[in-house]
Structure 1
Amino acid sequence: MELLNLSLAELQALLNTVQAEIKHRETEEKANAKKQILELAKSYGLSLDDVLSKATVAVRKPVEAKYKNPNDESQTWTGRGRKPAWVQAQLDEGFSLEDLAI
């Protein structure tokens, strides 16, 4: 089929036919995918609810601060991760971590 030789009406009809076929194939592929997913879940002994339920997420409670800035008690550090600048400044001045302990 040579597209350049088709009239506008023929091109629009062809477009409608193509769009309808795309929609039909998408519906078929989704149905097949759903069937495969359900079969796979069944083979592992899972129900549809098991597959769709959200996994429980462990809630972590915040870690308590172990150190505080003697110059500004609103600044604290848990002792985890990178040392804050105020901790490093205190250590550079000769303080130890034990001096900063809460």
Structure 2
Amino acid sequence: MGLIDMARQRAVTKKGKAPKMANVNLAKMSLKELIALQSDVEQAILAARQRERQEILAKMEELAQDAGFSINELVGGKGRGKGKASISAAKYVNPDNRSETWTGRGRKPNWLVAKLNKGSKLEDFAL
């Protein structure tokens, strides 16, 4: 059984009928054509996944509304990790240019690294 036949077998619509697919002889295709086909299939899969996700979300919203809720009340308003990052106050300042500050998080700024390399201590720049 070929790849196309397996895809036809799996792609059964809700009415129980397989969608019509073009007959493609993969063995006769060049590498370039196969790679292009693979890319097209991957894009089609992504589009189908997004389409199904939207359909399921619409059904969920309808069920929630029928029960007197919003979808956000049932599953939470925001997804994980998608909220605003917290803003930290500056803890260190460049004495030569007071607009250059550092919160103490992440990589040290170049001005601070240069001063530390010259023998200064981190505490010298604390606010």
So what's the TM-score if we normalise by structure 2?
Answer: 0.40
| Greater fraction of residues in helix | 1
Q: Which has the higher contact order (CA 8 A, sep 6+)?
A: 1
